[in-house]
A and B are shown apart, each in its own frame.
Chain A
Amino acid sequence: MTAATYLRPGLPIPVAENDGLDAPYWEGTRRGELMVQRCKACGNWQWGPEWICHKCLSFDMGWQKVEGRGCIYSWERPWHPVHPALKDQGPYIVVLVELPQAAGIRMLGNLVGDPRQAVRIGAEVEAVFEPHNDAKPPFTLVHWKIIGAS
């Protein structure tokens, strides 16, 4: 059986870029791990991925697992469906989450739970992995949940 997903099925399936830049991230999500870039030369955290470190211009970018905890930096609640798959979705929440343990890089995902809940910028959240094992190709999304919420 397949667990319910936050958004209805039928949205575009995320795949790694042809040049492989973000492949370690997407492979990590399949293992339930949050992988982001960290420069091997200067230790700079970097997200989204790029081929070069914006701090020291080294091409030697590594990948490091980060803990899936952060706080809400911004948010929005779409109501108007722009994709056929979301026609009967109703409102949903998208959050931008800042990861203090990785120098404040930000990640975007949905906020699980009541789509009409009040959202507070600064609220602490933890990552929730949402596998789509039946998709072709399979992929995993990374959502966020208010810490302490059921």
Chain B
Amino acid sequence: MTERTLRGEVAIVGIGETTYYKHGKSPDPEFMLALKAILAACADAGIDPRKIDGFASYSNDRNDPSRLAAALGLPELRFSNMQWGGGGGGGAGAVANAAAAVAAGLADCIVVFRALAQGQFQRFGAAPPGGTASGEAALNAPYGVMSPAQRYAMRAMRFIHENGIEPGAQRAIALASYHHAQRNPRAVMNGKPLTAEVYDASRWIVEPWRLFDCCMENDGAAALIVVPAEQARDFAKKPAYLLAAAQGSEYRNGARCHNAPLYATSSFTTVAPHLYAMARLQPADVDVVQSYENFTGGVLMSLVEHGFFTAEEANNFLVPENLLAPGGKLPLNTSGGNLAECYMHGLELQVEAVRQIRSESTTQVPDAQVSMVISGPMVTPVSSLILGSGETL
């Protein structure tokens, strides 16, 4: 019986981004941002955009593949896919869906993209005005639980309680992202360094999270191109091969009104073992990690659940020097991530993971061969993936 796996079956050969803007500052409409990112990814890969034959996205992206295919004059559309679930949990999942489709022969050149111009639509962190709430919202909103921060602080607080997590552990994650952003000219927070003192003095958004524990809101778009591995060397740049992908969540994670049996989780406890099994790798083999920061506490839990350290070790491990490229034990969010580069809903993390394999990052980890992305902690479904250089195949 042959092993069913995505390991080594596809590669990412193109990456593209628009300029990243502060929330509401994009001069371009959201659909134009999507188009610009896709064309940038094609230029990076050195291909005619008319080679694209599929699209994958997540989090209810508004930019419909059929409109994109018509706008770009594609000869045919063979794959259009939306990963279920809100938040950034579908980032790696969308890449995995594209990869599975390419590996199975449904399409040959799939763009994974995400475009956001929140100023032109409803903001994530803001509640809709007035009216009524039903279902899950009825059990939360009348008590003042409306934003993602308010929804997930409850989970993180329980994890902090169970494991004696100290404030410095979350702070180190924020400091690492801001540190890396200072080297990255694309980063919205480039030129705006963060110190421990400024972090400690910053206002609470919702305890246990301060301002700098929470992601930004931004406008922009990002895209990447997935092709079959056997064609990967025909493109302009060094390919980043997919070594593994996994998605989902634990037993009854989605039970309503905060009733998941395993509550203090970032939702990866069942997902991460599948990831490592497909990659045939261990946590110690991973050279660099991009871990979606909706909130720093979620990153902390994600890193525990991906086996980089135990919850008991978190206070000792999570100090800035361990998280900084190039020399840290676990270089984390090397472009600045959602906190300090751009909240491109985590697709900028996928792009950065590819850059690390290509040795093109502004905070490059020397000789990075294995590059992980963790998408969307605490939501369900979540997803993660591992990329590798040709040497890892």
Which residues from chain A sit less than 8 Å from chain B, CB to CB?
Answer: 7, 10-18, 21-22, 26, 47-50, 54, 73-80, 82-84, 86, 89, 91-92, 94, 96, 105-110, 121, 139, 141, 143
Tell whether, in the assembled complex, residue A86 and residue B139 are in contact, meaning their CB atoms are under 8 Å apart.
no
CB distance from B165 to the nearest CB of A (A): 13
Tell whether, in the assembled complex, residue A109 and residue B206 are in contact, meaning their CB atoms are under 8 Å apart.
no
Which residues of B lie under 8 Å from residue A80 when comparing CB positions?
149, 203-206
Which residues of B lie under 8 Å from residue A89 when comparing CB positions?
144
Which residues of A lie under 8 Å from residue B143 when comparing CB positions?
7, 94, 108-110, 141, 143
Q: Is B280 located at the chain interface by the 8 A CB criterion?
A: no
Q: Is B2 located at the chain interface by the 8 A CB criterion?
A: no
Tell whether, in the assembled complex, residue B207 and residue A76 are in contact, meaning their CB atoms are under 8 Å apart.
yes
Which residues of B lie under 8 Å from residue A22 when comparing CB positions?
135, 138
Tell whether, in the assembled complex, residue B204 and residue A17 are in contact, meaning their CB atoms are under 8 Å apart.
no
Tell whether, in the assembled complex, residue A74 and residue B206 are in contact, meaning their CB atoms are under 8 Å apart.
no
The segment from B72-80, B257-265, B330-338, B357-365 found at the interface with A is B257-265
* Residues 118-139 (chain B) with a chain A CB within 8 angstroms: 125-139
Q: Is B163 located at the chain interface by the 8 A CB criterion?
A: no
Distance A74 CA – B159 CA, assembled complex (angstroms): 9
Residue of B125, B145, B203 with most partner-chain A CB within 10 A: B145
Tell whether, in the assembled complex, residue A13 and residue B145 are in contact, meaning their CB atoms are under 8 Å apart.
no
B147-173 to A contact mask, C-beta < 8 Å, 1/0: 101100111011001000000000000
Q: Is B47 located at the chain interface by the 8 A CB criterion?
A: no
CB distance from B129 to the nearest CB of A (A): 6
Which residues of A lie under 8 Å from residue B51 when comparing CB positions?
none
Tell whether, in the assembled complex, residue A14 and residue B139 are in contact, meaning their CB atoms are under 8 Å apart.
yes
Given contacts A22-B135, A76-B207, contact A11 B141 (CB under 8 A): yes
Which residues of A lie under 8 Å from residue B161 when comparing CB positions?
74, 121
Tell whether, in the assembled complex, residue A79 and residue B207 are in contact, meaning their CB atoms are under 8 Å apart.
yes
Tell whether, in the assembled complex, residue A82 and residue B133 are in contact, meaning their CB atoms are under 8 Å apart.
no
Which residues of A lie under 8 Å from residue B146 when comparing CB positions?
82-83
Given A12-B137, A14-B133, A76-B208, list of 14 further CB < 8 A pairs? A7-B144, A11-B144, A13-B131, A15-B133, A16-B134, A17-B138, A48-B257, A76-B157, A78-B153, A78-B205, A79-B204, A86-B144, A96-B158, A141-B142
CB distance from B139 to the nearest CB of A (A): 6
Residue ID in chain A nearest B137 by CB atoms: A12
Given contacts A12-B141, A83-B144, contact A105 B259 (CB under 8 A): yes
